[in-house]
Chains A and B, each alone.
Chain A
Amino acid sequence: MAQLDDLLLEEAKQNPAVFDELVLRYQDRLYNFLYRMTGNREDAQDLAQEAFLRIFKALDRFRSGAPFLPWMYKIAMNLAINHQKGRKRTTPLEDDVPTTSLFSSPESVAEQREAQRHISKAIMELPADYRAVVLLRHGDELSYEEIAQVLEIPLGTTKVRLHRARMLLQQKLRAAGIKTGDHELQRSPKAHTTLPG
């Protein structure tokens, strides 16, 4: 995948129309990350557009062979953090679709939706830099090294920050009375689900 990114980036420097391929390739990931960072769909859309525009403007300065994903997330994260400064934090919309099996009972689905709502809320209540590291690790499955590149901090600091973020999340969830082990939670599939209209 990294090699394909390199090819697309090099090609896009010469032929801007190729940049559309990069947008199509990463818009879901970028939008999801920004949505989880801001808790607001409209803001996530605006910031996603702005992030891609900044990436396009900086194409000529992007070093060939350097990893694209950390660079993309770094731009997105800085936009999200700057956007949040001075704005009242919004809680996520209650439109998370629980990932359940076909055999889940309605009660189980309702309980899972409630648990996920609390988890989303707890994540939104984290400081922005802790929120980013949790989302990058568990939402976008970036490695420690990639997260360190995004945040521009040492690898050791990244691990410590992730650990602290998790501890803080646990505290918030316990305070909300949410037991994360009570439900048959499954990792979300890599295919994206569309928000209900």
Chain B
Amino acid sequence: MNCNVAQKLIQLYLDNELEETAARAVEHHVAQCRECRAQFLDLERLVLAVESLPRVAAPPGLFQRTHARIAEYQQRQARSWQRRAVLGLDILMAVIGLGFALEAGDRFLRSLPDLGLDTPFDLFNSLVVVAVSVDLSLVVGIGLLVIAGSLAILQLIPQDHATSHA
């Protein structure tokens, strides 16, 4: 083994990454070559020096703070699913409500030619008649739209989140 090869293998030797045959070859070369031996000892001392640094333990309370952050995340996830469910209900109600309202509006527009509107006063009279007749579809439709809109507004209001950092 020459110095060029040995110097490339010294790191692997110190890291116990060489097979038996190669490791013995490195040992043999280092024992006989002063320059490679110096490099070997330098690297070995460096490794030892770095590995002599004490390992620090996690400070007291780290586990509890970590647990609390994860618990908070789980609660946010649960609230998020609740909000999605309510939003879905919002959309459904809004669609149904819009359907009722459009149906009522369509019937109103179809009835206009039969009302005999010759003067603006006739239009006023006709509107009063329609309103008084309490069209159920219109009431249901507007009611659903109001409820859906209210729920949507409530969902848009930001939730008050607790601070997550310890």
Residue ranges of A at the interface with B (Cβ–Cβ < 8 Å): 16, 19-20, 23-24, 27-28, 30-32, 35-36, 41, 45-46, 48-49, 52-53, 56-57, 96-99, 112, 115-116, 119-120, 123, 134, 137-139, 144, 159, 162-163, 166, 169-170, 173, 180-181, 185-188, 190, 192-195
Q: Name which residue of chain B comes closest to A191, CB basis.
A: B55
Q: Is the CB of A138 within 8 A of B50?
A: yes
How far in angstroms is the closest Cβ of chain B from A59? 11
Q: Is the CB of B65 within 8 A of A49?
A: yes
Interface string of B31-52 (1 = CB under 8 A from A): 0000000000111011111111
Q: Is the CB of A53 within 8 A of B70?
A: yes
The one of A20, A28, A123, A181 that contacts B55, using a Cβ cutoff of 8 Å: A28
20 pairs across A/B with beta carbons < 8 Å? Answer: A16-B70, A28-B58, A31-B57, A32-B55, A46-B166, A99-B54, A116-B49, A116-B52, A138-B51, A139-B51, A139-B53, A162-B11, A166-B46, A173-B49, A181-B41, A185-B48, A187-B52, A188-B54, A192-B55, A193-B54
Residue ranges of B at the interface with A (Cβ–Cβ < 8 Å): 11-12, 15, 17, 41-43, 45-59, 62-63, 65-67, 69-70, 73-74, 165-166
Task: Name the B residues within 8 Å of A96 (CB-CB).
Answer: 53-54
Q: Name which residue of chain B comes closest to A55, CB basis.
A: B70
Cα of A96 to Cα of B58 in the assembled complex, Å: 14
Task: Name the A residues within 8 Å of B53 (CB-CB).
Answer: 36, 96, 116, 119-120, 139, 188
With A16-B70, A27-B66, A53-B70 already in contact, the answer to whether A98 and B54 are too (CB < 8 A) is: yes
Cα of A53 to Cα of B11 in the assembled complex, Å: 36
The one of B17, B42, B47, B56 that contacts A32, using a Cβ cutoff of 8 Å: B56
In the complex, the number of residue pairs spanning A and B with C-beta atoms less than 8 Å apart equals 131
How far in angstroms is the closest Cβ of chain A from B7? 10
Task: Name the B residues within 8 Å of A195 (CB-CB).
Answer: 56-57, 59
Task: Name the B residues within 8 Å of A144 (CB-CB).
Answer: 15, 17
Q: Is the CB of B52 within 8 A of A137?
A: no
Q: Is the CB of A16 within 8 A of B48?
A: no
Which secondary structure dominates chain B's binding surface?
helix
Task: Name the A residues within 8 Å of B45 (CB-CB).
Answer: 180-181
Which secondary structure dominates chain A's binding surface?
helix
Cα of A145 to Cα of B15 in the assembled complex, Å: 12
Task: Name the B residues within 8 Å of A169 (CB-CB).
Answer: 46, 50
Cα of A51 to Cα of B86 in the assembled complex, Å: 32
Q: Is the CB of B59 within 8 A of A31?
A: yes
Q: Is the CB of B57 within 8 A of A159?
A: no
Cα of A30 to Cα of B47 in the assembled complex, Å: 21
The one of A28, A57, A134 that contacts B57, using a Cβ cutoff of 8 Å: A28
